[in-house]
Amino acid sequence: MSLTLELMNWVLDMVLQIIRELLGKVTMSSEPVNVNEFKALAERALPKMYFEFYAGGAEDEHTLKANEEAYQRITIRPRVLVDVSRIDMSTRMLGYSISSPIMVAPSGLHKLANPEGELATARAAAASNTIMILSFGSSYSVEEVAASCNAVRFFQLYVYKQRHVAANLVERAERSGYKAIVLTVDCPRMGRREADIKNRMIVSKQKNVEGLVSTEVDADGGSNLEAYVNSTLDPSLSWKFHT
């Protein structure tokens, strides 16, 4: 009798063990393993308007496609029988050591995807021992991101028609310990992002310019975002730039 009970318990344990393993495998296999799978998850998780803001490009998206295809033309040439047991991809950027030549590029409005927005991105940059480039159009302010973690931070600057805005942001970034200014020079006009127009993409409050300029926008037929950028950024910015 006791032998039968023992046997039953043993079988039950085995079954539970197998179920646990199976469940484990199911969870593991549904974990995203590459950036395309993360993108598919984001599409499911985010409102269409926000997903297309992050994932979309301008006009017919020729440049977006060309950028992705460019990576497919890069081939890594393996050199066999080389000791790769210890790999060091670390490098230096403007004198700062980073774990690999990969940094966080500036992109605006992270809070549309997650309430922690750029605070979380900066934490991830710190954990990966790389540099966070905070966008001028961040959802959290220069100061809030600086206070949230000790990642090496650069600040990306757009130059507004009102030059005092750029001066103010540079001063605040310097005061908050940002180590470099990354000047964006390819946005004298916002690209015509058709998905944003169709979605009537609303530009959220520009945290960094609160109190400096009016954040009210007249959508003027285009997307709210396009109208905002085109009415604020200085299209006359050139090599002759002076304050």
Ligand X SMILES: Cc1cc2nc3c(=O)[nH]c(=O)nc-3n(C[C@H](O)[C@H](O)[C@H](O)COP(=O)(O)O)c2cc1C
Q: Which of 9, 17, 67, 91 binds ligand X (CB under 6 A)?
A: 67
Phi, psi dihedral angles at 202 (to 5 degrees): -95, 130
The region of 79-87, 96-104, 130-138, 228-236 touching ligand X under the rule CB under 6 A is 130-138
Q: Determine, following the binding rule CB under 6 A, whether residue 137 of this chain makes contact with ligand X.
A: yes
Q: For 22-57, give one letter per residue: b (16+ CB within 10 A) or e.
A: eeeeeeeeeeeeeeeeeeeeeeeebeeebbbbbebb
The region of 8-16, 24-32, 111-119, 133-141 touching ligand X under the rule CB under 6 A is 133-141
Q: Which is nearer to ligand X, 8 or 41 (CB)?
A: 41
* Contact yes or no for 120/149 (Cβ under 8 A): no
Strands (E), the chain: 91-93, 96-98, 132-134, 153-157, 181-183
Q: Determine, following the binding rule CB under 6 A, whether residue 117 of this chain makes contact with ligand X.
A: no
Q: Which of 46, 49, 50, 54 binds ligand X (CB under 6 A)?
A: 54
Q: Determine, following the binding rule CB under 6 A, whether residue 150 of this chain makes contact with ligand X.
A: no
Q: Which of 156, 223, 224, 232 binds ligand X (CB under 6 A)?
A: 156
Q: How far apart are CA 203 and CA 205, in angstroms?
A: 7
The distance in angstroms from the start CA to the end CA of the chain is: 93
The region of 72-80, 87-95, 131-139, 168-176 touching ligand X under the rule CB under 6 A is 131-139
Other residues' Cβ atoms within 10 Å of the Cβ of residue 139? 24
In angstroms, the Cα distances linking 158 to 23, 183, 186, 201 are 49, 7, 10, 20
Judged by CB under 6 A, the chain residues 185 through 224 that form the site for ligand X are none
Q: Which of 8, 18, 102, 105 binds ligand X (CB under 6 A)?
A: 105
Three-state SS at 212: coil
Beta bridge partners of 157: 183
Q: Which of 51, 103, 104, 106 binds ligand X (CB under 6 A)?
A: 106
Site size with ligand X, rule: CB under 6 A? 12
The region of 2-10, 19-27, 101-109, 188-196 touching ligand X under the rule CB under 6 A is 101-109
| Chain positions contacting ligand X, by CB under 6 A | 53-54, 67, 105-108, 135-137, 156, 184
